Amino acid sequence: MKILLLLAALGFCRAQYNPNTAHGRTAIVHLFEWRWADIALECERYLAPNGFAGVQVSPPNENLVITDPWRPWWERYQPISYKICSRSGNENEFRDMVTRCNNVGVHIYVDAVVNHMCGSGAGSGNRGTCGSYFNTGTRDFPAVPYSGWDFNDGKCKTGSGEIENYNDRDQVRDCRLVSLLDLALEKDYVRSKIAEFMNHLIGIGVAGFRIDASKHMWPGDMKAFLDKLNNLSTQWFSQGSRPFIYQEVIDVGGEPITSSEYFGNGRVTEFKYGAKLGTVIRRWNGEKMSYLKNWGEGWGFMPSDRALVFVDNHDNQRGHGAGGASILTFWDPRLYKMAVGFMLAHPYGFTRVMSSFRWTRDFQNGKDVNDWIGPPSNGNGSIKSVTINADTTCGNGWVCEHRWRQIRNMVIFRNVVNGQPFSNWWDNNSNQVAFGRGNKGFIVFNNDDLQLSSTLQTGLPGGTYCDVISGQKEGNRCTGIQVYVNDDGTANFQISNSAEDPFIATHVDAKL
Ligand SMILES: *[C@@H]1O[C@H](CO)[C@@H](O)[C@H](O)[C@H]1NC(C)=O
Ligand SMILES: *[C@@H]1O[C@H](CO)[C@@H](O)[C@H](O)[C@H]1NC(C)=O
Ligand SMILES: *[C@@H]1O[C@H](CO)[C@@H](O)[C@H](O)[C@H]1NC(C)=O
């Protein structure tokens, strides 16, 4: 027992699970495809003042320029070199962003694409975002450099060289994922090149990495390059801090490769989370919110301290990756806000909020044929800047879910209730549910087709509170619904099922 406890304590201290966030900050936002210059501004003007912990940025290294279709978002998942040089900006702009964001306590997490290089059919030329030469026929990427020796062509056992069967774990790791040239991660040279790239970013001041396509790498090979990583920059992080690692492993069950194989390296993306939460909030398959009482491990999810959780990501918001049609996105704003609100109120996992760009969806036979469309861009391919409207929303096609009042205020809620237990659960056996976080916060949902009218135990100290969903506390006044908590902690809630946002949340910092 003692040994087990000791091991648990060591496991908990190993920093690759620790998100390296500034004190009391608990949620990061994925600013998908944003330019570095815009992220720097957003850290200073919006994310820091509203308590966001960090930003997941799109892959910063040089990628293949794809013109057919025109500049799809997925071109950034086709590396040409490890030069910091992409449509989001150059290395100077990247450095400026990291410095400015770190200086206001908002940390940067890089989407690292290290499983592969570009697609095998790209040919040869200088069509990288930095103009570096490559030749896919000879497997030459001289700007790294990688050559034919550095790919898995000899190791993959399928006739096509592609992954043909996801039930064969060797194929999934050793063969090409949708034609992408698969790096030979068993080679120390390749591991060293990857570590060099990541250490360059660590030197600039990043706090950690999302590791793309982790399922397509052997956990042991990943450990080998992760063990080569430096500690974080002591300019912003305490001595001995290890980079935060979260691995993209799509495991919704039913395949031989499981998330748990990767726990030794860091956290893992929990794809069951958004798929199940979407199903519940859409009330599909007979699911009800009352079933969320044991949300988390009770639903067969990985341990909370290993999970990176999200309602949607850049893949599954457009039908790629896992989760299918149940995934909630900004296209269903009413249900989406409830899902993100639930996630941010609930203690399970380390949370990531999605921030998207809009595109014209075109469903043909159930599939969005425009699922490839890249970020808002100019005729010459440069990404459009994120403009800010007078009402604080974003322009130029950027959705900025993280600026929606309900979502931003729930990020603040999560910070306020950080460390408090899940408490005072209530449900009506249907889709009216509520829970608290100790004596710091309380949230009530009405996702039924009837009015909610109930007196509930909030756990909060008596007083008048402001609902942070319909409004917020501004100075001494509340711009939304007021919640009157009696001295015994009870409060009466009324939520119409036709309310624009049929949920109420409040916390001790929103006490009037
Ligand atoms: C990281 O810091 C720890 C504690 O200061 C030290 O023991 C370790 O050698 C450092 N690791 C690297 C790779 O610099
Ligand atoms: C691309 O077009 C935009 C908008 O017209 C312009 O601001 C930018 O300087 C152009 N970039 C290049 C590299 O030509
Ligand atoms: C809970 O929901 C059910 C089914 O929608 C409804 O009949 C019932 O009145 C609700 N109960 C409460 C206490 O709100």
The per-residue pLDDT for range 49-107, each reduced to its tens digit, is: 999 999 999 999 999 999 999 999 999 999 999 999 999 999 999 999 999 999 999 99
Of 287, 450, 497, best ligand 3 pocket probe by most atoms within 8 Å of the beta carbon: 450
Letter string b/e over residues 419-445, b meaning 16 or more CB atoms within 10 A of that residue's CB:
ebebbbebbbeebbbbbbbbbbbbbbb
Residues with Cβ < 8 Å from 47, sequence gap 6 or more?
A: 29, 55, 101, 104, 106, 402
Q: Find out whether 465 and 413 touch, Cβ atoms under 8 Å.
A: no
Residues with Cβ < 8 Å from 422, sequence gap 6 or more?
A: 346, 347, 435, 436, 437
pLDDT tens by residue, 370-384: 999 999 999 999 999
User: What secondary structure letter does DSSP report for 446?
Assistant: E
Beta bridge partners, 234, equal none
Atom 2, ligand 1: residue with shortest CA distance = 240
For residue 11, is pLDDT > 70?
A: no
Give DSSP secondary structure letters for 35-99: -HHHHHHHIIIIITTTT--EEEEPP-EEEB--TTTTS-GGGGGSEEEEEEEETTEEHHHHHHHHH
For residue 65 the two structure tokens come to 């320029």
Q: Is 297 a catalytic residue?
A: no
Q: How far apart are the first and last CA of the chain?
A: 48
What is the mean predicted confidence (pLDDT) over 423-436?
Answer: 98
Residues with CB under 6 A from ligand 1: 230-231, 239-240
Q: What does the angle CA 383 – CA 21 – CA 415 come to, to the nearest 5 degrees?
A: 100
Q: Find out whether 115 and 219 touch, Cβ atoms under 8 Å.
A: no
Whole-structure pTM value: 0.96
Nearest ligand atom owner, CA of 448: 3
Q: Is 42 a catalytic residue?
A: no
- Report the relative pairing of strands 107-112 and 482-485 from DSSP bridges: unpaired
Nearest ligand atom owner, CA of 87: 2
pLDDT tens by residue, 231-251: 999 999 999 999 999 999 999
